[in-house]
Structure 1
C-alpha cells in the first residue's frame, strides 16, 4: 500500500464502485481509472461495465472467468487477484474495481496487498461507499447510540462467537451461511436451521429482525424484510446471498459508572483532563 515515504506512482489502484451503480463512484476513483492501462472489475450491473469502458479502453469483467458453480469461492478470489497482479506486472498501472468498498468483505484486495511487496508492486487503495454505509440509511440507524457488533454469518457459527444482546448486530452474508461454495441455486429452509438455533440462545423467538439489501440501482428502493427470529427459515426464498441480517438490541444497557456520568458535563472535570490553553 502507498505510504507517506513512498512517492512512486501506483502500479495497482484498488477501488470500490459503491453500491448504487455509477452514482456512488467518486471523482478520485474516476481519476484512477482514467490513468489505468486496464480496469479489471467485478461490477453489480452491466451499466457499470459500460461506464468503466468510458474511462479506459481496456476493461475486463472478472465475474464470468472467476466464479464456477459448486466451487469454493476462494478459487474465484485466487483467480481475480492473480489476474490483477499479472496485469500490473505486464502493463501498469491497472485498476481492480469491485462493488462496494474495496476493503469491506473483499478478500482479493487482501491477497493483492499481501502479494504486492514480494512482486515489487506499489498499491494504492481508495475509499468508497460500502454496504454498511447504505444499510445505515436503509435502517435509519445510528451506531453511535448503542454501538455495533458485526460478524460474517458462517464465522459466527464456526467460532461460536458470543453476542451482546444490548448492542445492535449485523450478520453479513447470511444468505450464504454454512458453505464456502459458490452457488446460484435458491436457498431451502434447512440452510437457516443452525444459525436460527444459535441466535435463539441469545434472543427470544418473538424478537423482530430485518434482512437488508441496499438497492444497487437508483430507480429501485432498498429491500428490508422484517420477521421474527423464530420464523427465520420461513423466509428462505427471500434470504438471498446479498442480504445482511440486522438484529436490533434486545435491551438497553444501564449506566454502570455513576461517578463518570456525574462528571461528563463538568467544566472542572474537562479542565482536569485537558491542557491549559493559555499555557500552550
Structure 2
C-alpha cells in the first residue's frame, strides 16, 4: 500500500513519445523528461532510447522486465510496482511510454491510478498513437461514420461484434493469441489470420477491401499501407506493429422516427 505524501512532494508524470522519432514528442513532455529526478522508459525505437539516455543521466529502461517475466500480465504488474517503488523514494518520476501513454500501456496507467489513491500527484500527458497516424495517412474522418477500436485477440475471445456501417480498427493483428513478449519483429501469424478472417466473414463480404497498416517511425519515411480483399488476409505480411483497418461496407440505418423527434432534415445528413 502506498503511503500518503508527506513534506517532500513526490510526483508521477507519464508521457508518450509518439510514433515518429522526436517529431511527435511534445514540448511539454520534453520538459517533464528533462526536469524529472528519475526517468523510466519503455519505448520501441532505439533512437528515442538514446536521446533519453543522453538528455537525462538518471534514466532507466524497463525492457529488462520482459526477460524476467515472459508472461505479459506478470510483466505489467512488476513494472507497475517498480514505478511506484521509485515514486516512494520521494522523487519526481517521469515515465515515457511509446506512442500514447494509455494505449496498450497498462503498467504506467495502473501506476498513475494507484499513485492517486495513495495521495500523490500523478498525471498522464497525451501523445500521438498509431491510430492517430492511421487517420491522417488514410484520410479518415471517423466522426462521420463512427469508429470501433478493438484489440484482435479480444475481438475473438470475447465475441465482440463489429458494426459494418462504421470504421473498424483492429489492434495487434500480428500477435493474435500471444500473451507473452514477442522478441522477434516477425513471426508466423497465418493460422491466427485464418481464424480472424473466418470470424470477420460473419460481418463482411470476402471481397471487401481492408488495409494492413504500419505507421512510419522516422521523418521522411512512408507508412506501410497494404490494401487487399478480406479473403487474402492470411497471405498478408504481418509484424508486431501491424494494425488492420476495415472501412464501412454497409450504409447507416436511419431511424425516421428519431429524425422527426429531433427535427432533422434527412437531406442535411452526410
Q: TM-score, normalised by structure 1?
A: 0.84
Q: How does 1:251-262 map to 2 (within 5 A)?
A: 251-257=250-256, 260=259
Task: Give the conservation status (yes or no) of the 8 Å contact 1:44–1:216.
Answer: no
Q: Deviation string for 1:115-135 (max 9, x for gaps)?
A: 214544321211111212111
Task: Give the conservation status (yes or no) of the 8 Å contact 1:212–1:224.
Answer: yes
Structure 1: stretches of 5+ with no match in the other structure: 1-7, 266-280
Find the structure with the greater CA-based Rg.
1
Task: Give the conservation status (yes or no) of the 8 Å contact 1:148–1:169.
Answer: yes
Q: How does 1:1-280 map to 2 (within 5 A)?
A: 11-63=11-63, 65-68=64-67, 71-185=70-184, 186-235=187-236, 238-257=237-256, 260=259, 263-264=263-264
Runs of 4+ in 1 over 4 A off after TM superposition: none
Q: How big is the alpha-carbon RMSD for the aligned residues of Structure 1 and Structure 2?
A: 2.2
Distance in 1, matches of 2:67 and 2:194, equals 26
Q: CA deviation at 1:69?
A: 9.1
Structure 1 residue matching 2:143: 3-state secondary structure: helix
Task: Give the conservation status (yes or no) of the 8 Å contact 2:12–2:93.
Answer: yes
Distance in 2, matches of 1:200 and 1:70, equals 36
- 1:4 is matched with none
Structure 2: stretches of 5+ with no match in the other structure: 1-7, 266-270
Q: Deviation string for 1:87-123 (max 9, x for gaps)?
A: 1112510111011111122111232023214544321
Distance in 2, matches of 1:80 and 1:27, equals 26
Q: TM-score, normalised by structure 2?
A: 0.87
Tell me the number of residue pairs that the alignment of Structure 1 and Structure 2 aligns: 255
